Homo-oligomer: A and B are copies of this chain.
Amino acid sequence: MELTDLLTFSAVARTGGITRAAEELNTVQSNVTQRVKALEAEIGIALFERHSRGMTLTGAGRRLLPYAQRMAALSREALRAARDDGEPKGPLAIGSMETTAAVRLPALLAGFHRRYPAVQLSLRTATTADLVAAVLDGSLDGAFIAGPIEHGDLAATVAFREELVLVTARHIKNLTELRAATPESGPTALVFRTGCTYRQRLEQVLTEFGWPSATRFELGTLDGMIGCVAAGMGVTLLPRAVVGRNEGVRIHALGTAQSRVETLFITRRAAHEYSALRGFIACLNSKDEDIAA
């Protein structure tokens, strides 16, 4: 049960084939075959079903896989923990929603880098759902997501409070005009890809306006969305701070019920000793004081 074996096993399970796993692991097919066979021999039970177009997990393989993944994650953490002498340094992988990354993070990250230049910070943007999964499996150290969330393995602190506003083209002066300018079926809703929490809020809002089946149009980037709204393609829902003083669009406040949303910073509970992460959370907590001062 060496880690190498478990790692190759994971790779084969993930890619569904020896060849692809070998590529991913930078080795040759024959080696992967042998590692898998060695593992199967040691455990005494087949982990894969071989068929002409690759390999799929057997029951035993499915039972083993989560352990293999946890052990791989643990070994990465172990290495970091041992090297971590209390001084924040080394890699730190942070995730964020697109919107938060656009307006809230630049100042925060700059401040963090000034304070801890030895930390190699990386930022990845994705949807809340993806970010939660990434933090849980250890591929991110922490992430900014839309609250609320309840999960036993995660620790969360409120990072920012946002007010969600409806964003329309400039010439729409108020909601009555929007209704007038919109066909019976409702406006086109410009949304991020599935998994984004703001998207769900927008669905709720549109339903309340009596447009439950409005056309959806998916975009990947924030600039793209605001541009499309300005061009009159449709409406969207965004934090007020994100839209800011943008010329081409107009902001419409909503009732408080749907409009308040908290951006949380989540981390795995178990990983709380990592200095770089501790330093980041310290930065996060001190930013409010900085602003107040």
CB within 8 Å of B: which residues of A? 1-4, 6, 43-45, 47, 59-61, 63-64, 67-68, 70-71, 74-75, 77-79, 81-85, 273
Q: Is the CB of B2 within 8 A of A82?
A: no
Q: Within 8 Å CB of A43, what residues of B?
A: 79, 82-83
Contact A78 B83 (CB under 8 A): no
Q: A46 to nearest B CB, angstroms?
A: 10
Apart from A6-B78, A71-B78, what are 17 other A-B pairs with CB-CB below 8 Å? A1-B3, A1-B79, A2-B2, A3-B3, A43-B79, A47-B82, A60-B85, A63-B81, A64-B81, A64-B82, A67-B75, A67-B77, A67-B78, A67-B81, A68-B78, A71-B75, A74-B74
Say whether B45 contacts A83, CB under 8 Å. Answer: yes
A59 touches B77 (CB 8 A): no
Cα distance A24–B274 in the bound complex, in angstroms: 32
A47 neighbours in B (Cβ, 8 Å):
82
Cα(A64)–Cα(B83), bound, Å:
9
**DSSP majority for the A interface?**
helix
Nearest B residue (CB) for A74: B71
The CA-CA distance from A6 to B71 in the complex, in Å, is: 12
Residue of B nearest to A78 (CB): B67
Check A82 against B70 for contact (C-beta < 8 Å). Answer: no
Q: Which residues of B contact A1 (CB under 8 A)?
A: 3, 75, 78-79
Residues A83 and B67 in contact, CB atoms below 8 Å apart: no
Residue from B4, B63, B74 within 8 A of A82 (CB atoms):
B63
Question: What are 15 A-B residue pairs whose CB atoms fall within 8 Å in the complex?
Answer: A1-B79, A2-B3, A44-B83, A45-B83, A59-B85, A60-B82, A61-B82, A63-B81, A63-B84, A64-B81, A64-B82, A67-B74, A67-B78, A67-B81, A70-B74
